[in-house]
Chains A and B, each alone.
Chain A
Amino acid sequence: MKEVSPAKAYALHLGVIALLFALSFVLPEYHHGLLARIMVLAVFAMGYNMLFGYVGLLSLGHAMFFSAGLYGAGLAVIHLGWSVPAAFAAGLACGALLALIIGVLALRTSGVAFMIVTMMFAQVFYLIILYFASWTGGDQGLVVPQSARVLVLGSTSLGLTNPTVRYMSALALFSIVLLVTLAVVRSRYGRVLVAIRENEERTKMLGYDTFSNKLAAVVVSGTICAASGAAYALLFGYVGSTFASVQYSILPLLWVLLGGAATTLGPLIGTLFMYYVVDITSGYTSAYLLIVGIALILLVLFFPKGILGTIRQRWLGWLP
């Protein structure tokens, strides 16, 4: 790993954020809405990347963390009438707690067993949502009422259904998570995580407690994914069990693989690219899962490092 010049990296990330901010004023309405959604889902991918890219733990169950945030926030608004910030915090808390429990259990395994265990826990979570259909809306899902999706800041109240407010909220969340991720991966802790990915035994021998480092990574990753889910519920007003299905555990994996695992901006690029590919192809065919399948196979066969990973390897060694 080459030495990263901090100024260059931060300038690049702030530039990306500024670009997304500027795009808000020039994009046509349809793409404006789409980009807001992509930014929220990119946060999901960034959370996934935290664990998959940096620690090398391939989870097939991250949909449960996303939907813990989704349902934590959504149900708090719908059933308890909580305000937006309180509901968002509830979503985060649900995700963090779930990640802690799952982490303690699943980290006893490794490799293939870790994948299967996370997939099974996510399946249990999905079935529980279906089982308590009277609370969660089951298959149909629930709509978060527009009247409740209002952010009150002092004397002003911002309706989250307003496109500009929605875009800016999504951008704010995205920027915070992006900068936090950058800070984490550049920190001492981030280097320990990469060391665990490269050689866990040797890291252990050097005196690091790999279990608690990995557990912390699962919790951070789960909380970021829950933040994405909570934001999705509050900004787009829909809470449904599809988001807990296996497919939504696979999608962040696909986005991260495409954009480049263990790159800070890879998740955004992967999500953006894949979302538009699916959006454009679904105009011609309903077979978008076919595209997802082919993309997965082509990626692992020919582009295991993804877009940014390849760029970093060939040209820009300093990319974080």
Chain B
Amino acid sequence: MHFGPHLLLAALEGLVTSAVLALTALGLSLVFGVMRVVNVAHGEFFMLGAVLAWAISTAISGHPSLGFLAALVLAPLIVGLIALVAERLVLRRLNYNPEATIVATIGMLYIIQQLALTFYGPEARPVEPPFSYRILLPWFGYSGYKLSIIAASALLLVATWFVLTRTKIGLVMRATQYDSETAQAFGIPVDRVYAGVFALGAMLAAVAAVLIVPISQAHYLMGQDPLLLSFIVVIIGGLGSLRGTVVAAVLIGLSDGIISVFFSPTLAKIIATLLVAMVLVFRPQGLFGTASR
């Protein structure tokens, strides 16, 4: 293959990564933006989504698309419920203290990971894609399913944007993010908003995982890379900024796809992580964000 098509392939792979990353990072960003909680267990909600997708799709016989659609609806709901319980039982009792919640979510990370290992096992298991149509480009054939991931993610992002900016729920969320005390004084049930946002953040990660699992595989350690990458995206994009998150996800996803085609993935990770740490040190509001309040 020549350089041009090779680059196109790398870019397409990068776009798929970006699509999934944007959803996952958006969940992390919402939780941090509204609740000021750094959710270290976010990657584990992602993993749970993938593992549940496997469990649901193998439980349902018939055409693979049936099982996949069931997983796409049920897995995020279950993950959201788990997150809701965790929020009520732990985070709320900590009064959302930033440092205590980090320690607590680290605890959740270990618990979820270990339970997944115990009940799901150490194997990586595939989920059959709902359809296997190949789009033939002049240079190579490309999986139609992968392109549909990009479309689905774009759709979900637009929907989230619509909810955040054009509906009452979004208004309530933004008010809580802007000033939770004043919001409370105006009769907004801040407590319930927090619970809802935490569940929503986990559900976004779970949806992303269900979308990606037919082309990667479900494994109990698969939450680690999305967590780190989401941190990177959220930091570069500026906290709580939806547009920044999407732009940064595309940037990181594309460069990750292209760099790891041409360089060693470990070296790519070293450079990316170091760069992001430096951004956080020298420009804490992110590259696109405005100064934090």
Residues of A within 8 A of B (CB): 58, 60, 105-106, 108-109, 111-113, 115-117, 120-121, 123-124, 127-128, 130-131, 250, 253, 257, 287, 289-290, 292-297, 299-301, 304
How many interface residues does chain B have, given as a range? 35 or more
- B100/A304 in contact, CB under 8 A: yes
- A259 nearest CB across to chain B (Å): 15
Q: Are B266 and A301 in contact (CB under 8 A)?
A: no
Indicate whether B117 reaches chain A with its CB closer than 8 angstroms. yes
Interchain CB contact (< 8 A) of B273 among A58, A124, A287: A124
A19 to B58, alpha carbons, bound, how many Å?
Answer: 59
The answer to whether A113 touches B284 (Cβ under 8 A) is yes
28 A-B contacts (beta carbon < 8 Å): A58-B99, A105-B281, A108-B281, A109-B284, A111-B99, A112-B98, A112-B102, A113-B284, A116-B235, A120-B231, A120-B276, A120-B277, A120-B280, A123-B228, A127-B270, A127-B273, A253-B103, A257-B103, A289-B114, A290-B118, A294-B111, A295-B107, A296-B104, A296-B107, A297-B107, A297-B111, A300-B94, A304-B100
Whether the pair B114, A290 counts as a contact (CB closer than 8 A) is: yes
Q: Write out the residue numbers on chain A whose beta carbons fall within 8 Å of the beta carbon of B282.
A: 108
- Chain A residues near B50 (CB, 8 Å)? none
Does the CB pair A301–B280 fall under 8 Å? no
Residues in A with CB closer than 8 Å to B111 are 290, 293-294, 297
Task: Please determine whether A287 and B118 come into contact, CB atoms closer than 8 angstroms.
Answer: yes
Closest Cβ of chain B to A286, distance in Å, is: 8
* Interface: B115 (CB within 8 A): yes
B164 to chain A, nearest CB (A): 23
Q: Please tell me if the beta carbons of B281 and A106 are within 8 angstroms of each other in the complex.
A: yes
What per-residue 1/0 map shows which CB atoms of B265-277 lie under 8 Å from chain A?
0110110011011
Which of A121, A287, A297 is close to B90, meaning CB atoms less than 8 Å apart?
A297
Give 10 closest A-B pairs by Cβ, nearest first. Answer: A293-B110, A296-B107, A293-B111, A297-B107, A120-B277, A290-B114, A293-B107, A289-B110, A289-B114, A127-B270
Which A residues are in CB contact (< 8 Å) with B273? Answer: 120, 123-124, 127
Complex Cα distance, B266 from A300, in Å, reads 35
Given contacts A112-B38, A117-B281, A131-B270, list 12 more A-B pairs with CB under 8 A: A108-B282, A109-B284, A112-B99, A116-B280, A120-B277, A124-B273, A127-B273, A128-B270, A130-B266, A131-B267, A293-B111, A304-B100
* Shortest distance between the CB of A113 and any CB in chain B (Å): 6
- How far does the Cβ of B24 sit from chain A's closest Cβ, in whole Å? 16
Q: Give the distance in Å from the alpha carbon of A290 to the alpha carbon of B115 in the complex.
A: 7
Shortest distance between the CB of B28 and any CB in chain A (Å): 11
Which residues of chain B have C-beta atoms less than 8 A from A60's C-beta?
Answer: 102
| B90 engages A250 (CB within 8 Å) | no
State the CA gap A113–B108 with chains docked (Å). Answer: 21
Chain A residue numbers with a CB within 8 Å of B117 are 287
What distance in Å separates the Cβ of B98 from its nearest Cβ neighbour in chain A?
5
Does any Cβ of A come within 8 Å of B17's Cβ?
Answer: no
Query: Does B23 make an interface contact (CB < 8 A)?
Result: no
Residues of B that sit less than 8 Å from A by CB: 36, 38, 90, 93-94, 98-100, 102-104, 106-111, 113-115, 117-118, 228, 231, 235, 264, 266-267, 269-270, 273-274, 276-278, 280-282, 284
Contacts of B99 in A (CB 8 A): 58, 111-112, 115
Question: Separation in Å of the B259 CB from the closest CB of chain A?
Answer: 14
Give chain A residues whose Cβ lies under 8 Å from the Cβ of B94.
Answer: 300-301
| Complex partner residue of A290 from B93, B110, B231, B280, CB under 8 angstroms | B110
- A113 touches which one: B110, B266, B274, B280 (CB < 8 A)? B280
Contact among B36, B98, B113 with A289 in the assembled complex (CB-CB below 8 Å): B113
Closest chain A residue, CB of each to CB of B274: A124
Main secondary structure of the interface of A (DSSP, over half): helix
Complex contacts, A106 vs chain B, CB 8 Å: 281
Question: What's the nearest-Cβ distance from chain A to residue B286, in Å?
Answer: 11
Cα of A3 to Cα of B284 in the assembled complex, Å: 40
A111 touches B276 (CB 8 A): no
Q: Assess whether A296 is in contact with B231, with CB atoms less than 8 Å apart.
A: no
Taking CB as reference atom, which chain A residue is nearest B276?
Answer: A120
Contact A296 B280 (CB under 8 A): no
Contacts of A116 in B (CB 8 A): 38, 231, 235, 280
CB distance from B150 to the nearest CB of A (A): 28
CB pair B114 A127 closer than 8 Å: no
Q: Which residues of A contact B114 (CB under 8 A)?
A: 287, 289-290, 293
A113 to chain B: which residues have CB within 8 Å?
A: 280, 284
Chain B residue contacts of A299, Cβ below 8 A:
103
Once bound together, how far apart are the Cα atoms of A14 and B115, in whole Å?
43
How many angstroms between the C-alpha atoms of A253 and B278 in the bound complex? 24
Q: Is the CB of A294 within 8 A of B107?
A: yes
- Are A109 and B280 interface neighbours, CB within 8 A? yes
In whole Å, how far is B111's beta carbon from the nearest beta carbon of chain A? 4
Partner of A296, one of B36, B106, B264: B106
Bound Cα distance A287, B104 (Å): 18
Bound-state CA distance A116–B106 (Å) is 13
**Shortest CB–CB separation between residue B274 and chain A, in angstroms?**
5
Chain B residues whose C-beta falls within 8 Å of the C-beta of A257 in the assembled complex: 103
Taking CB atoms, residues of chain B closer than 8 Å to A120 are 231, 273-274, 276-277, 280
Q: Which residue of B lies closest to A293 (CB)?
A: B110
